[in-house]
Every structure is written in C-alpha cells, then in structure tokens.
Amino acid sequence: MLYSGKLFSCSRLSALSALLLAGTCLAQSDPQSVVTEVDLNRAKQESRASKPRELTVLTQTLSAEQIDRAVLNRLMQEINSEPANTKVRMGINDSQLQELFITISNTRGFINGSEITNVRAMCAVWNESTTQGESRIAEAIAAYKKREQLTQTFIAKYYSVVLFDIEAILDEESLPLFRAYMNDRRRRLANAGMTSWGSPVQNISAGTDTINFHCRTN
C-alpha cells in the first residue's frame, strides 16, 4: 500500500487495515510456510479405522402403536377449528360431526401417559442391578422399553375399538372418505418424524443421560 511515496509493510498498518489486508499479505508469503498439505489417503484410513460415535437422540419418534391416537387427536383439532371444512372432507352432517368430536374427546380423556411408571420401572432395575457400566445401563433401558411397550400395545388395541365405533357412525358415502383421511394422515405422520413425549432411551448415550437425571444415586 502506497502512502506519501513510501511502502508500508503489513506490520505497520493499523489494526483495521491489517485485518482487511491479512489475506493479501499471506498470499504474498511463501505458500509452504503458510499451508500444510493434508495427506488425504492417511486421513481416510484413520477415519475408517476410528470407532463411530454413538448419536445421542434427544427425542424419540412416534411408534406404530401411537399413530392412530395422534391422527384422531389431530382430527379433533380440525373439527374444533374448521368444522365446515371437516364436514365437506368427510361427507358428514352436523349430527355426525358432533358424535365424532365427542367420541374422540372422550377417548383422549381416558388414555393417560405412562411416563412416570416407565421411569419407575427403569430406576428400580437400575438400583437393584448387580452389573456395572454399560450392562447396567442396558438393563435399565430394557426395563423402561418393556413397560412402555405394555402401554403402547394397550393404546393400539383401544384405538382400534374407537375406530370401529367411529365407523359405525358413518354411512356408506362418508365411510370411505374417513378411511382415506386416516390412511393419508397415518402416512404423513409416519414420514414427518413427529416426536413423542417419552424420555430418550434409544441408545446407551441417551439412556445414560435419562438415568443420570432420574435414577442415579450411586
């Protein structure tokens, strides 16, 4: 850079100018002293040889048993917010719409979450286990999942009965429209990665965090 006919070096520039011209100064220096070439082949070999890191899952997605429950809860919200559109989509009248809403609403109030019970089962196994390290964590996670599956299986069976009751409300014209709606929403929810409210216990890393929060006393 020229100023009053004299050439100033990068070290004589102000702090701001030095930042702006840092790239220029480096470009004029010896490339071998600035850039160290990376041995790509060696890096690839080291990457392949290294043990993959286990992902910590922060949330868990809906299981197959939870899909119908989520779809019907979504339908209840649509009936509440857009009753006219729902009637057209389903091909139902005001009376059928009201019955549909009441049926789903009563169902939603009947089903309670099992998270507290799941955590208690997990912590009981954790506290009683005689193993150590990852084996102890795996036992506790297995207990959580086993107890959770009992609830999910019950929910799936219960909602199959609810769907039967809903279909009994519908006539020959509205029944295929309702079934088409359910299938479309099932597919969308399954592909959307919608998450459930359960604790993350999909793997050792996530399970360890959950155990540390709820159970670990020793």
Same domain for 116 and 208? Answer: yes
Classify the phi-psi angles of 214: left when phi > 0, otherwise alpha if psi is within -120 to 50, otherwise beta.
alpha
pLDDT single digits (tens) 101-116? 999 988 876 666 677 8
* Distance, CA of 215 to CA of 218 (rounded, Å): 9
Question: Which DSSP state fits 3?
Answer: E
Same domain for 76 and 11? Answer: no
Total domains present in the chain:
2
- 41 vs 20, residue with greater confidence: 41
List the domain range (segments joined by +) for residue 89. 64-214
The pTM of the full predicted model, rounded to 2 decimals, is 0.60
Identify the band that residue 195 occupies on the pLDDT scale cut at 50, 70 and 90. low
Same domain for 30 and 68? Answer: no
pLDDT value at residue 95: 93
Please, are residues 209 and 143 in contact by the beta-carbon 8 Å criterion?
no
The answer to which of 69-78, 108-117, 198-207 has the lowest mean pLDDT is: 198-207
Identify the band that residue 137 occupies on the pLDDT scale cut at 50, 70 and 90. confident
pLDDT value at residue 151: 85
SS3 label, residue 147: helix
Using the Cα atoms of residue 116, residue 122, residue 127 and residue 132 in order, give the sign of their dihedral.
Answer: negative
Same domain for 187 and 131? Answer: yes
- 15 vs 126, residue with greater confidence: 126
Q: Report, in angstroms and rounded to the nearest whole number, the Rg of the chain calculated over CA atoms.
A: 30
Q: Is 25 part of any domain?
A: yes
Identify the band that residue 181 occupies on the pLDDT scale cut at 50, 70 and 90. very high
The answer to which of 37-46, 111-120, 139-148, 170-179 has the lowest mean pLDDT is: 37-46
Q: Is 56 part of any domain?
A: no
The answer to which of 15-24, 62-71, 126-135, 162-171 has the lowest mean pLDDT is: 15-24
The fraction of the chain above a pLDDT of 70, given in percent, is 62
* Distance, CA of 17 to CA of 36 (rounded, Å): 26
Q: Is 178 part of any domain?
A: yes
The two tokens of residue 83 are 């009753």
